Amino acid sequence: MAKEPPAQDLMNYEAMAQEALRGVVRAALRRANAPGGLPGAHHFYLTFKTGAAGVEGPEELLSRYPDEMTIVLQHQFWDLEIGDEAFGVTLKFGGRPQSLRVPYAALTRFYDPSVQFLLQFDAEDSPASSGVSDLRSPAAAAATVESSDPEAPNVVSLDHFRKK
């Protein structure tokens, strides 16, 4: 008996799942933007492809991170704007406020270390397939890259969360 090849996914379920999970990020950002801000100890690490279509920010900042950049929304962020396709926020880099606009399609990771919740995405220009993870390991604490240069941006490295 001949085996039939698997049916072709004409519904594109993987793309639909990615879009639905980006909706989780959108909803979390909306809650962070509500009166009272982020509840409890929640805070977000958002990693995105700096060269993806629609990413906007100071060229000198984005050029320092030609592939990916991680921003943290915790205590000091301003002008958070949540749209259907992108979000905008102002953060301090080197003591200076800088505005960024990031399409949800450019996101590669969303992490809330307070509850160890991680979503990983395929960004527009990222060929690697990721998926969704819910981290429960206490070893999954995020590490901040410290710099002795007070003018350097405070960027968080999530390299130890990447699948190898």
CB 62 within 8 A of CB 52: no
How does the average pLDDT of the chain come out, rounded?
A: 80
Cα(54)–Cα(56) distance, integer angstroms: 6
State how far the Cα of 86 lies from the Cα of 106, in Å rounded to an integer.
Answer: 9
Q: Tell me the domains of the chain and their CATH numbers.
A: 13-33+41-161 (2.30.30.220)
Mean pLDDT of 92-96: 92
49-72 pLDDT, tens per residue?
Answer: 999 999 999 999 999 999 999 999
